[in-house]
Amino acid sequence: MDQLLQHLVNGLVLGGTYALLGIGLTLIFGLMNVVNFAHGEFYTLGAYAAFAALALAGLPFFAAIGAAIVVGMAGGAVVERVLLRPLAGESIDTTMLVMIGLWIAMQNAELLGWGGVAQSIPHPFPTAPWTLGPLGIAPLRVFVFATALALIGASHLLIQKTRLGTAMRATFQDRDTAALMGVRIGRIHAVTFAFGSALAAAAGALLGPIFLVYPSMGDLASLKAFCVVILGGLGNIVGATLGGLILGVAEELGAGYVSSGYRDAVGFVIIILVLLLRPSGLFARAERIG
């Protein structure tokens, strides 16, 4: 029982960052109809940006995470401007192949720049876990979970309460009508891609100190993000949040009770099962944003 609780706690912490990854992807996928296989590379970018800010520029830990988010946002904006905007109107297959090309290019650029050796991001939290009865949790993980939840909350507010968010929701529901109502679709796409990439970078900067930072870390992150999107339903932020938590807990339970070697298979199996049994996601009444 204690063990189960411990797995649940660990899974929720992991799931928070999966949710961040998934929200970014579900917005890009749902709103822009771009299958962003490079999403995990922004996660990697965020992790390396945090590492560089800390180790090379000497910024404090919290500023480094902020810097990673800014770098992710800027990277996303550049990619949208250079690669996606010229392809507006092309088929979804073409942009998907373009994002696959970007994925390979970014990953190997990082490999060339940083080398294949895994780096660890130093953090200021004590390593001794806080204990509550039989449960133990590292303070770093608490910080990561709290930050992830705060970012998710902020995203939700942005989408639901601001003018920009209203325009995004309108674009998702019906692009042409939104454009007729004066929404500048091009700008909404730019903002969406930059915002989604910033969230992925935030996830990378947050998980970087817990795990290690290495060039191919984005591969699994991409697939987990897709898993979350598929669980939650396209463009569904609440669904993506719940999907992230479900994936985190399922992985932790799978690793704990089935086999740790198959931890990463959990996401794959979920993708296959959900797509076969309930392709619109677990929480979808209709595809929607918000």
Partner 1 sequence: MRRLGLGALALLLLTAPVWLASPYHLHVLIMAGIFAILALSLNLLLGYTGQLSLGHAAFFGIGAYTSALLALKAGWSFWPALGAAAALSGAAGWGIGRLALKLRGAYFVLVTISFAGVISLVSVNWMELTNGPLGLPGVPPPDLGPWALRTKGAYYYLVLAAAALAYGVCHRLVHSRIGRAFLALRENEPLAESVGVDVTHYLVLAAVVSAALAGVAGSLYAHYTRFVSPEVFLFSYTVTMVIMVVAGGKGTLAGPVVGALLFTVLPEALREAVSWQWQMLAYGVLLLALLFFLPRGIVPAVARAMRPARTVGVRSRSAPGARGEPE
Q: Which residues bind partner 1 (CB under 8 A)?
A: 29, 35, 83, 86, 91-94, 96-98, 100-109, 111-112, 219, 223, 226, 230, 259, 261-262, 264-265, 267-269, 271-272, 275-276, 279
For 60, counting Cβ atoms within 10 Å of its Cβ (0-12 exposed, 13-18 middle, 19+ buried), the class is exposed
Q: Which two tokens stand for residue 4?
A: 């189960």
> Alpha carbon of 194 to those of 27, 107, 157, 191: distances in Å?
11, 19, 17, 5
Dist CA 196 CA 172 (whole Å):
15
Dist CA 246 CA 269 (whole Å):
13
Nearest to partner 1 of 98, 148 (CB atom): 98
CB of 158 to partner 1, least distance (A): 25
Dist CA 4 CA 152 (whole Å):
26
Dist CA 13 CA 251 (whole Å):
12
CB of 25 to partner 1, least distance (A): 11
CB of 259 to partner 1, least distance (A): 7
Identify the sign of the CA torsion 154, 156, 161, 163: positive
CB of 280 to partner 1, least distance (A): 11
Query: What one-character DSSP code corresponds to residue 213?
Result: B
CB of 243 to partner 1, least distance (A): 14
Q: Which of 2, 202, 189 is nearest to 88 (CA)?
A: 189
CB of 200 to partner 1, least distance (A): 17
CB of 9 to partner 1, least distance (A): 25
Nearest to partner 1 of 268, 283 (CB atom): 268
Nearest to partner 1 of 35, 148 (CB atom): 35
Burial string for 171-205 (b: 16+ CB within 10 Å, else e) reads bbeebeebeeeebebeebbbbbbbbbbbbbbbbbb
Please enumerate in sequence order all residues whose Cβ is within 8 A of that of 265, keeping only pairs 6 or more positions apart, or say none.
254
CB of 219 to partner 1, least distance (A): 7
Dist CA 107 CA 126 (whole Å):
32
Nearest to partner 1 of 96, 253 (CB atom): 96
Nearest to partner 1 of 145, 172 (CB atom): 172
Nearest to partner 1 of 70, 223 (CB atom): 223
Nearest to partner 1 of 212, 223 (CB atom): 223
Nearest to partner 1 of 26, 147 (CB atom): 26
